[in-house]
Every structure is written in C-alpha cells, then in structure tokens.
Amino acid sequence: MIYRSKNRKLLQKTVASPAPKAIESPELGFGNRPSVRGQRLVNQNGAFNIVRIGEEKNFLNNAFHQILSMEWGRFFGMILIGFLVTNIIFAVIYFNLGVENLQGMIGTSFLEQLSEAFFFSTQTLTTLGYGRISPVGFATSFVASIESMLGLLAFAMATGLLYGRFSHPEANIIYSKNALFAPYHDGVGLMVRMANGRRNQLIELEALVTLARNEMIDGVSKRKFYILPLEITKVSVLASSWTLVHPVVEGSPFFGMTFDDINESDGEILVQIKAYDETYSQNVYSRSSFMDDEIIVGGKFISAVTVDEQGRSVLDLSMISDYEIVEVPIPRSA
C-alpha cells in the first residue's frame, strides 16, 4: 500500500536538486521468480544463496577451485589426512615386502616394525632420509624410488596450492549490520556504512546498490530489481569508513512508502563493491545484502572516527554498525 496523503510531500524535500531516478533492471541473473519471505538472494558474506543440483560429481573438474576456496581448517586437514594415508599405504607395502629388506630396523614386535616402516616412509616421501634405515633389494628400492618421486610431485603441488590461497586477491569489506533510513538534508536517505577490514590500500572504489522486491504484475507476483542512485558512487581511496547514501526522492522505489510499507515490502538490498587492491595489483569484489528485517527506519550512524592526542584520525571498526534512534519524515499508515 502506498501512502497518498499530503504527508507524502515530506519526502520530496530530500535534496535541493532532484537525484536521478532509480533504474529498473529487468534481470540481474537471479530470474524473476518471487522470493520466499526470509530467503535472501545474497548471503551477508557475499555468497549467492543458490542451491545447485544436477552437477557432474567429478571432483577433479573443480578440484583447483574447491581447494582454493575451502576453509583453511579443511585445507590443512586435507593435507594432513593425505600425508598420513599415503605413508600408511607405503608402510604396509614395505612391511609386506619383508622387514628384512629395510636395513637398520631394530624393532622386534609387529607394532614396532610397522611403525618403523611408517616413519621410513615419511622420510622417503619428504626426501629427508636420516640414514639409519635403508632399502635393500630391488623390490624395496623400487618402491622407495616411486615414493620419492610422488613426494616431490605432491609437495610441489601442495606448495603451489598454498601460494595460490595466499596470493588469491579477496576484499575484506566490513559492512554495517543494518541499513538505515536516516535524516538526509531536509528529508530521508537510505544508508549503508562500510570500511576496509584489512590494512591494505583499496583505491578507485565503485559501489552498486540494488533493490530486489516482489511486485504484483498483471495479477502475478514477480521479483523486480531497481538500481538505486547513490549520492556518491565512486571514491578514490577507502582510508576511513564510507557511507553509501541513496536519497529518497521522487523516482526512488521508496518514495511515498509508509513505515509499515517499508517493513513489509519483503525486499532485499544488494550491495556490490568493486575496488583495486594495490597489494595484489588486481581488482577485488565484495558483496552483501540486507533483508527487510535488517533495515531500520529512523536510525543514524554514530561516527566511528575520532581524533587522538596527536591529531590523527582513529577509525574504530567495532563501531561500524553502531547507530542511534532518530525521527525521520516517513509517515505511519493508519
């Protein structure tokens, strides 16, 4: 329901000169199927909330991408498990070939001999070789040679993957937990605050904010997308925090909506940031979203920047989401 009373004019005094109208986008890659209430298109960590099925279950086809994108704990766990399993297999092979072919072995019991074969395998796989145990005979020496070659290949691959994970450019943008309808000039603006979570330098930043919501079109509910014009769409550097502001003026999808309309619009605000990372000398991207229950009508961000005794600006990242309650000229429905 759109509020039609004379109070609607309160939202026409947002800025002295009208801002560009929101651009309706027919498609952003999500389709026009109406969203189910509470289900977001983009998770707050930037991942698309899409479940994929019917894919070919072949790990090797996507192995490189999966290994680079998996969590660090899983990555090191995979390396550790692979190392242990490989050495257990070769230890069993050495043991079955005969412990007498491992010169220098001093163990007498089954477990002692198997453990010594295991540790001999680890020394061979890593090409370390302490020298106490050495292979004797063609079969055992051949297996040790194969294991040494596999060890060189495996560790070269592991080193490349580890470097790839460290060198993979990825932005760490911290977004405010809520988007706010806050006072802006004489009216209202939709605001989202963000800051760089790392100490690296991000330059030439560009922001794109889109509203996705369900609308009735010819009696059918469909998802519509609107690219929201921003007060500032580009900044040269992100040395401090940056508050994205969409003025609510005529032409905005929020223009004329009441407090209840905004909270019941079943909408989602999508934020995408593009920047150039000086450390990697590459472009990096970041995404986040805000559901209607994460949009605060009548809030104002508390400054996260203070000044220390030397006169330097101090940015407190823990305050990026802090806001205070204020009044805004958006009428409530009767």
Find the DSSP H helices in 10-49: none
Establish how many alpha carbons lie within 13 A of residue 32's alpha carbon, considering only the half-sphere containing its beta carbon.
13
Cβ neighbors of 232 (< 8 A, separation 6 or more) are 244, 245
What confidence category does residue 21 fall into, taking pLDDT thresholds of 50, 70 and 90? Answer: low
Tell me the average pLDDT across 141-157: 92
Report the pLDDT value the prediction gives residue 131, as an integer from 0 to 100.
79
pLDDT tens, 274-330?
999 988 888 999 999 998 888 888 899 999 988 888 888 898 999 999 999 998 876
pLDDT tens, 168-227?
778 889 999 999 999 998 888 999 999 998 888 899 999 999 988 877 777 777 778 889
Domains delineated in the chain: 6-52+170-325 (2.60.40.1400), 59-167 (1.10.287.70)
Q: Do β-strands 179-184 and 295-297 pair in parallel, antiparallel, or remain unpaired?
A: parallel
Nearest to 255 by CA among 180, 207, 190, 208: 190
Higher pLDDT, 190 or 55: 190
Structure token digits, residue 238? 């992100």
pLDDT over 50 (residue 7) = no
Nearest to 11 by CA among 178, 260, 181, 263: 181
Tell me the average pLDDT across 43-70: 71
Report the pLDDT value the prediction gives residue 4, as an integer from 0 to 100.
32
Structure token digits, residue 196? 């760089």
Write down the mean pLDDT value for the chain.
82
In percent, how much of the chain has pLDDT > 70? Answer: 81
